[in-house]
């Protein structure tokens, strides 16, 4: 843990908002990203995600599309076009690529995905720290 603390002091920690209604996925993604040096915010649906963004704009959103209360499409449409963080869609939908394009997402990953795919997508969107 000391190495991580030092790592964060040397640069700016990037914030990732993980939005998924499955608590196991939410926990797993959060833990993985935190180990990689990201600050993680969590939301269980689009409404919670909007509240998190109003409090503190993340550098990236990992977004499930199918959720109760407010789904991923409604969440994405609710964001102001000029003030919206990049989004990577995470979905089990077999048409995930076209649905990601519909909401203007930076990219997408089909569930289930490999850990290496997730980390590559996140790192390409936002490095863990900036000098």
Residue 3 domain flag:
no
pLDDT means per 10 residues, the chain with 131 residues, are: 36 87 96 95 96 94 93 89 88 88 92 93 81 49
pLDDT at residue 123, rounded to an integer: 94
Does 131 reside within a domain?
no
**CATH number, domain with residue 108:** 3.40.50.2300
Give the number of domains in the chain. 1
Structure tokens at 43: 């939301």
Task: Return the pLDDT at 129.
Answer: 63
pTM given for the model? 0.86
Q: Is residue 6 part of a domain?
A: no
Strand, helix or coil at 16? strand
Residue 116 lies in a domain: yes
Structural domain of 24: 14-124
Task: Give DSSP secondary structure letters for 68-91.
Answer: SSS-HHHHHHHS-GGG---EEEEE
Is position 1 within any domain?
no
Q: What's the pLDDT score for residue 100?
A: 92
Q: In this predicted structure, what is the pLDDT of residue 128?
A: 65
Least Cα distance to 73 among 41, 46, 42 occurs for 46
Whether 74 is covered by a domain: the verdict is yes
């Amino acid at each position: 843990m000391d190495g991580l603390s030092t790592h964060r002091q040397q640069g700016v920690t990037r914030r990732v908002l993980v939005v998924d209604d499955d608590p196991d996925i939410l926990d797993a993604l959060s833990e993985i990203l935190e180990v990689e040096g990201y600050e993680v915010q969590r939301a269980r649906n689009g409404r919670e995600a909007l509240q998190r963004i109003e409090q503190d704009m993340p550098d990236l959103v990992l977004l499930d599309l199918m959720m109760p209360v407010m789904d991923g499409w409604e969440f994405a449409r609710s964001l102001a076009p000029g003030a919206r963080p990049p989004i990577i869609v995470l979905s089990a939908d077999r048409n995930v690529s076209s649905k990601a394009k519909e909401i203007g997402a930076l990219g997408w990953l089909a569930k289930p995905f490999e850990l290496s795919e997730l980390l590559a997508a996140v790192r390409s969107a936002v490095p863990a720290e900036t000098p």
